[in-house]
Structure 1
Amino acid sequence: MKHILSVSLGSSKRDHAFETEFMGEKFHIERIGTDGDFARAIKLIEENDGKVDAFGMGGIDLYVYIAGKRYTIRDAKRLVAAAKKTPMVDGSGLKNTLERRCILEIQEKGIVDLKGKKVLMVCAVDRFGMAEAFEQVGAKLTLGDFIYTVGIPIPMHSLKTLRLVGSIAAPIIVKLPFDKIYPTGNKQNDIIPKYSKYYYRADVIAGDFHYIRRYLPEKLNGQVIITNTTTREDMKLLKERGISKVITTTPDMGGRSFGTNVIEALMITLMKKPLDQIAPEDYHAMLKELDLKPGIVDLERWDA
């Protein structure tokens, strides 16, 4: 049985494990949160290096992509360095493929008509492919990168602006301590409604779930959320706060959706190729073969 281990800087309250089968292979998939403790995360990686088939890096990205250029997050290098035998991925290889494909599928299959809809992306630089897909289907974007990552209430409304500003800001931001720009550990359990008017104005709220959750207003009015990792507890919270539907870019696995880092770790194990030899075309081919579908939960009919 193949073993996928996602070592996350996120809250240990979100830990989960289950067994499944993909393409004739049996997998044990496990997520362990370290509550923002880098030392503990590194120790976990070192203890399991060479014993598991692939690591997922959760709660932090290794790279940020803006308009085709890649920026490496300094703190993430510490985790990658601990994995000397087992390949480690952060999900970035999939974000530009799986998440872009998900948005196009939502539009093409009529799951939600995104054309003309007001879409708030809480942070677009870590999901540039998703942002481009929203623009492609005719959504009206509000990009909250400044608002929700560094606390500057300046919305952007075009990817052209994000490309320009991002190319200037990204080299500086990726050198900051990661917990200054992203909720890690127990901070993921806190909800601090902030700049709520952008949530209220949106028809769709999209992007990283921890950003969405951290600034979630007390009561919304039927918005749709398109995001990544969610648990049953998250669904209960979102229903209580007035969300009508949740669409996850990864499918339900054992009662929750996992992050792109887990799906990418699963895929590279199936590919059986060295990590440095895997190209975007390999991800596209694997996605087509696996035929992964978005997870869709209608909260108006959902019963916890």
Structure 2
Amino acid sequence: MKRAVSISIGSSKRNKTVEISLLGETVRIERIGTDGDLEKAAQLYRELDGQVDAFGMGGTDLGFLVDNRWYPLHSMRQITRFVRHTPVVDGNGLKATLEPRALRALQQVTEALPRKTALVTTAVDRWGLARAAEESGLRCTFGDLIYSLGIPLPIRSTRGVRILAAALLPLVSRLPFHWVYPVGESQEKRRPTHTRFFDRADVILGDCHYIYRYMPENMQGKVIITNTTTPEDVAAFRESGVRYLITTTPVLEGRSFGTNMMEAAILAATGRKTPVDYARPGDYFTWLNNLLDQLPFNPKVQELQP
């Protein structure tokens, strides 16, 4: 049996272990949260290095891939400093290849959308999804400044995101990660913020923690495209009135795992040991795309208000 482990700086309440079949291999996938403790995460990487087939980095990223330009998150380097043998992925590979396919699933429910407007909570960490949303004809608002930096200025195009990323990410990537993203137990806390941008959108796309944390109480009739959902998340979305939930990764035993976990599972199943370098990926994304055509990794559409 192959083993893939996602070590997350997120809440341990979301831990889960499942065995799945991929490409003829049985893979045990396990998510371990450290409740925001970066040093605990680093020690887990050290303990398991060489003992598992692939690591996922959860609750954060190694960096952001925006229009083929890589912006490393410098504050996260310490977490994997002890890793020498096991490949580490943060989900950027599947964000670039798998997540854009979720827009095909959206076509199944577009008749329910009166205005075809969308809010992408943050585009820099989901460039593939953001670009696919814009290319699909949705009128998009990108909330990177609003929900990451607390500046209530919407961005109206991926071109604008690209320009701001080039200007700001070299600085922002050196800030402590918890300044721009909820970690540990703070992921579970609701704090509706600048809700008018949610109110104006038919479709909400992006990170589940951002959506859950900042959305208004009333999400009547909206469509959410995200992943890393638990049964509790689904219940919260249903209670708020969300009509459709589209998860970009498969739902396994009631849980949609993060892209980092599923990307690590693919590496484990294939036995790939070559270190993944998102700054210089070579043919890695092409390799992933070809594998995805063979895998049952289809977006799942759940109707929450039948």
Query: Fold-level match, TM-score > 0.5?
Result: yes
Instruction: Give the structure 2 partner of residue 14 of structure 1.
Output: 14
> Which SS does the other structure have where 2:293 is aligned?
helix
Contact 1:268 1:275 in 2 (8 A): no
Instruction: Give the structure 2 partner of residue 91 of structure 1.
Output: 91
Instruction: Give the structure 1 partner of residue 279 of structure 2.
Output: none
RMSD between aligned alpha carbons? 1.5
What letter corresponds to residue 187 of structure 1 in structure 2? S
What letter corresponds to residue 209 of structure 2 in structure 1? H
Q: TM-score, normalised by structure 1?
A: 0.94
Say yes or no: does 1:286 pair with 2:297.
Answer: no
Instruction: Give the structure 2 partner of residue 202 of structure 1.
Output: 201
Instruction: Give the structure 1 partner of residue 40 of structure 2.
Output: 40
Contact 2:102 2:246 in 1 (8 A): no
Contact 2:72 2:173 in 1 (8 A): yes
> Which SS does the other structure have where 1:141 is aligned?
strand
Aligned-residue offset at 1:77: 1.2
Alignment of 1:96-111 (within 5 A): 96-103=96-103, 105-107=104-106, 110-111=108-109
Question: Which string of whole-angstrom CA distances, capped at 9 and with x for unpartnered residues, describes residues 48-100 of structure 1?
Answer: 11111111100001120222210000122112222211111100011111011
Distance 2:114 2:266 in 1: 32
290-299 or 141-150: which moved more? 290-299
Aligned-residue offset at 1:291: 3.4
Contact 1:106 1:112 in 2 (8 A): no
Distance 1:160 1:294 in 2: 27
Distance 1:7 1:282 in 2: 24
74-83 or 143-152: which moved more? 74-83
Question: Which string of whole-angstrom CA distances, capped at 9 and with x for unpartnered residues, describes residues 195-232 of structure 1?
Answer: 01111111001101111111121222211100011000
Question: Which string of whole-angstrom CA distances, capped at 9 and with x for unpartnered residues, describes residues 112-163 of structure 1?
Answer: 3579611000000111111111111100000000000010000011111111
Instruction: Give the structure 1 partner of residue 132 of structure 2.
Output: 133
Contact 1:200 1:221 in 2 (8 A): no
Aligned-residue offset at 1:15: 0.7
Question: Which string of whole-angstrom CA distances, capped at 9 and with x for unpartnered residues, describes residues 27-52 of structure 1?
Answer: 11110110100011111111111111
224-233 or 210-219: which moved more? 210-219
> Which SS does the other structure have where 1:82 is aligned?
coil
Aligned-residue offset at 1:272: 2.7
What letter corresponds to residue 180 of structure 1 in structure 2? W
Q: TM-score, normalised by structure 2?
A: 0.94
77-86 or 39-48: which moved more? 77-86
Aligned-residue offset at 1:280: 1.2
Alignment of 1:163-242 (within 5 A): 163-242=162-241
Distance 1:17 1:131 in 2: 30
Moved over 6 A (4+): none
Structure 1 residues without counterparts, runs of 5 or longer: none
Aligned-residue offset at 1:278: 5.6
What letter corresponds to residue 159 of structure 1 in structure 2? T
Identity %: 42
Query: How many positions carry a matched residue from both structures?
Result: 299
Aligned-residue offset at 1:271: 2.9
What letter corresponds to residue 157 of structure 1 in structure 2? R
Distance 1:94 1:267 in 2: 10
278-287 or 34-43: which moved more? 278-287
What letter corresponds to residue 262 of structure 2 in structure 1? I
Aligned-residue offset at 1:111: 4.0
Relative distance call for 1:116 and 1:220 in structure 2 (3 A) is closer
Relative distance call for 1:171 and 1:41 in structure 2 (3 A) is same
Distance 1:42 1:8 in 2: 10
> Which SS does the other structure have where 2:50 is aligned?
coil
Distance 1:14 1:222 in 2: 27
Q: Tell me which of 109, 112, 135 is aligned to 2:110.
A: 112
Relative distance call for 1:164 and 1:115 in structure 2 (3 A) is farther
> Which SS does the other structure have where 2:162 is aligned?
helix
Structure 2 residues without counterparts, runs of 5 or longer: 277-281
What letter corresponds to residue 15 of structure 1 in structure 2? N
> Which SS does the other structure have where 1:275 is aligned?
coil
